[in-house]
């Protein structure tokens, strides 16, 4: 496990603000890991995962039942941290969070994490307007490998990065798991699995695309054309669909 810049940003957010914090970003970039690690800074916290059947049952029992089960309302001297993971899979998640926040915002700090669906779905309405801030989590960068201290200034003096770390970033990318393991075999398996999840879960659920095999062909073509001009007509001819379909 490595320290991330976002840990300091999260602490700074809750030191100054009451709004919920939505951790958004690509799959396996470390959103849940960051949230769980930062939770140790609170005296009282809980992690609620929608994919866990017991946690789901407690969430569905209502905001008050959840607060009573976690003894949130009994805390007076300090705030309680609650992490909602993958709650966007609940059809009524916006109304649920709105009600929970409005009732317990003075007693709780709230972190919400999820996949690309959370990032997209929260833009679909304004029922949570003014109640949350977004924090986009990115893969490890050169800057973050050098320094994870949070500063208000975006401009910092240059510092050297070790040749070893630069080589790891170049070979395995900035996603934490393959970067830390630094194994070719693991990186290949991880990349294949992640691509399947993106195509079969995120893209399918967000866009209702049915021809996943053709979509997989398109991703391969796009990878090979990285840095080049995109020619919709050329892609359409190779894949066997219209250029409008490629564009969409």
Q: Which helix (H) or strand (E) holds 112?
A: strand 108-113
CA distances from 188 to 67, 105, 171, 191, 221 (A): 43, 44, 11, 5, 18
Token reading at 217: 């062909």
pLDDT tens across 55-101, in order? 999 999 999 999 999 988 766 678 899 999 999 888 889 999 999 99
* C-alpha neighbours within 13 Å on the C-beta side of residue 169: 15
| Residue 118: band (very low, low, confident or very high) from pLDDT cuts 50, 70, 90 | low
What pLDDT score was predicted for residue 117? 61
- Dmax over CA atoms of the chain, in Å, equals 65
Residue environment code for 190-213, b if the CB has 16+ CB neighbours within 10 A, otherwise e? beeebeeebbeebbeeeeeeeeee
Q: What is the mean pLDDT of the chain?
A: 87
Asked if residue 149 has pLDDT above 90, the reply is no
Strand ranges, E, within 8-79? 20-24, 45-49
Percent of the chain with pLDDT over 70: 89
* Reported pTM: 0.81
What pLDDT score was predicted for residue 140? 93
| Residue 224: band (very low, low, confident or very high) from pLDDT cuts 50, 70, 90 | confident
């Amino acid at each position: 496990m490595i320290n991330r810049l976002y840990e300091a940003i999260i602490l700074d957010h809750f030191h100054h603000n009451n709004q919920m914090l939505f951790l958004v970003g690509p799959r396996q970039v470390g959103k849940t890991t960051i949230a769980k690690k930062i939770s140790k800074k609170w005296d009282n916290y809980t992690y609620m995962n929608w994919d866990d059947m017991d946690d789901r049952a407690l969430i569905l029992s209502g905001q008050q039942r959840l607060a009573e089960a976690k003894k949130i309302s009994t805390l007076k001297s300090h705030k309680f941290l609650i992490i909602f993971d993958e709650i966007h899979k609940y059809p009524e998640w916006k109304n649920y969070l709105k009600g929970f926040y409005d009732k317990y915002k003075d007693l709780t700090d709230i972190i919400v994490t999820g996949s690309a669906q959370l990032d997209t779905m929260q833009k679909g309405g304004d029922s949570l307007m003014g109640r949350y801030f977004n924090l986009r989590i990115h893969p490890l960068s050169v800057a973050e490998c050098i320094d994870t201290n949070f500063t208000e200034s975006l401009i910092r003096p240059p510092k050297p990065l070790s040749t070893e770390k630069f080589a790891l970033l170049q070979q395995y990318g900035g996603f934490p798991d393959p970067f830390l393991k630094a194994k070719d075999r693991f990186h290949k398996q991880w990349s294949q699995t992640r691509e399947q999840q993106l195509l079969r879960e995120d893209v399918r659920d967000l866009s209702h695309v049915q021809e996943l095999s053709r979509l997989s062909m398109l991703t391969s073509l796009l990878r090979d054309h990285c840095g080049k001009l995109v020619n919709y007509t050329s892609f359409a001819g190779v894949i066997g669909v219209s250029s409008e379909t490629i564009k969409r």
